[in-house]
Structure 1
Amino acid sequence: MLRQRTAMRSLVKASLAAMIIAGANLAALARADETASNKALVLAAVKAVFIDRDASAVDRYWSPRLPPM
């Protein structure tokens, strides 16, 4: 009986540890996805203003009231 309890506790601890690690990995993936999205947005804005010479892009990308995405 004592061995079963010890084995069950070890299993629960291992499961909790795996869940914590999986949650941390998901958070890291979300941050990486957000970083990639931010980079793409900045590149599009800089390209529009400086390469395409689109002055209205300043209002679109740097407006105090951003449209919902």
Structure 2
Amino acid sequence: MSQTELTLNINPLKHQEVDNIQMGVLPTGETYMSLRGLSRFCGVSHSVIQTLAKEWIEGTLFTKTRGKKIL
């Protein structure tokens, strides 16, 4: 299976790592967490977050039990 990584040309106003969790603030004022930071915050493997993101993009996430719980 081939994986595609999207790249955005957005430079954060602030980026830092706290307790091994990467996060920051974008020029729009929106906050963000890196995929690995989010997985650490949630206490799951980063592959779990990758799978959720992939299913979200494919439109299959909310047809599954775990996706319905996110809603």
Which gives a bigger RCO, structure 1 or 2 (Cα 8 Å, sep 6+)? 2
Bigger share in strand: 2
TM-score, length of structure 1 as denominator length: 0.24
Report the structure number with the largest CA radius of gyration. 1
Bigger share in helix: 1
TM-score, length of structure 2 as denominator length: 0.23
